[in-house]
Amino acid sequence: NGTSSITYAAGSSGSVTLAVKVTNSGGCSTSSGNKLVTIIAAPNATISTSSSVCAGSTNTASVASGASGYSWTISNGTITAGSGTYSIKYTAGSSGTTTLSVTVTNASGCKSTGKSYVAIKTLPSATITSSSVCTGSTGNTASVTSAGSGATYVWRSEEHTSELQSL
């Protein structure tokens, strides 16, 4: 009231009807009639990705396609492909949480921002402990640190000799 401009909030959909009555200092007035202002839906910025990933792994994240612009940022990780598109590949950090953020812009210039927090699962230890063994010996052992209940282990054994063949 009392100024030549107003600030108003748009709803989530539909339209807003505006009207104004202007009276000048001489007491003359006129009304605008109604101005229907269309509310343009904000673009979808909901990020689809895994809720948890392995440390250092490569993963994907995406939002709905069809917008005119996508701006991604990441903390505790690295975007490796797709920056500026609706779908990215990223490498998670070594521990903690990777945070993905995207700002999506539609053709009308409306923007939405989305965030996703991805828990980073630690990698098990695969460092083999074993001592040197004697020629022809059996019952030799090797081990890795236990990865806990439900872990699986797939071992492979190859024999290497120090003999060289002439060609």
Average pLDDT over residues 45-62: 98
How many of the other CB atoms lie within 10 Å of CB of 104?
25
Average pLDDT over residues 57-72: 97
Mean per-residue pLDDT of the chain? 91
Residue 146 scores a pLDDT above 80 = yes
Average pLDDT over residues 135-160: 86
Which of 34-38, 87-91, 158-162: highest mean pLDDT? 87-91
In this structure, of 14-18, 60-64, 104-108, the range with the lowest mean pLDDT score is 14-18
pTM over 0.75: no
| Banded pLDDT at 162 (limits 50, 70, 90) | low
CB 118 within 8 A of CB 92: yes
Average pLDDT over residues 91-104: 98
| Banded pLDDT at 47 (limits 50, 70, 90) | very high
Residue 48 scores a pLDDT above 60 = yes
Residue 154 scores a pLDDT above 70 = yes
pLDDT at 12: 83
Residue 42 scores a pLDDT above 60 = yes
Q: What is the dihedral of CA 56, 81, 97, 104, to 10 degrees?
A: -170
CB 69 within 8 A of CB 105: yes
For residue 117, give the nearest of 101, 98, 135, 136 by alpha carbon.
98
